[in-house]
Amino acid sequence: MHDLTDGVARFQRDVHPAKAELFAHLATTHRPTTLFIGCSDARVVPELITQSEPGELFVVRTAGNLVPAYAPGPDGIAASIEYAVAVLGVTDIVVCGHSACGAMTALAESHDLSTAPAIAGWLRFADASVARTAAEAPDVAALVRENVRAQLANLATHPSVARALAAGTVTLRGWVYDIASGAVEELDPTGRPAHLAA
């Protein structure tokens, strides 16, 4: 906890004063342009990867960057998506997978999750991705890409996203971030990668 406390002190002493005008604006304005759905993995930091300022991204992080298909009833992920799209009016939604993803590795390598029932239950939302890559040898990278595509399809089942797509007011993007190199690939609709401009 000591490191976190030191970080807060540095933020209050150095960072916040240097961006005082931005934070004063953000105190009364919340207009992010992008909903960024990424993995909970501590190595994947959306604002760092995209070099975004506070207020530019609306971030949702889940294990394996999973987005369950829409279902009625209380759901924190669905509520966050609906808020970003229907209330804040984001114009882009990025689903970002990444190299060495623990969730995708556990699935690709059929790890025993019997002592982690909550994790096992959550990862069932990637069953379709696992099935589509089952013909191949266990390949984490292929599963990461297929999972991003599957989550984009799940996003489109959310009513707010479906309406925005029909109106042409939102664009869905699939990314894969490589931790070691810093490269970010954007998947085309077929799932093939293309490096984003460096």
Q: Which residues participate in catalysis according to the annotation? A: 39, 41, 43, 98, 101
Q: For the sheet with 184-187, list strands across it.
A: 57-62, 34-39, 92-98, 171-177, 184-187, 193-195
Q: Which residues of 123-147 are buried (b: 16+ CB within 10 A; e: fewer)?
A: bebbebbbebbeeeeeebbbbbbbb
In the chain, the amino acid numbered 48 is L
CA distance 142 to 8: 39
The two most distant CA atoms of the chain are separated, in Å, by 55
CA distance 93 to 160: 12
CA distance 106 to 123: 9
Can you spell out the DSSP letters for 31-53?
A: --SEEEEEE--TT--HHHHHTPP
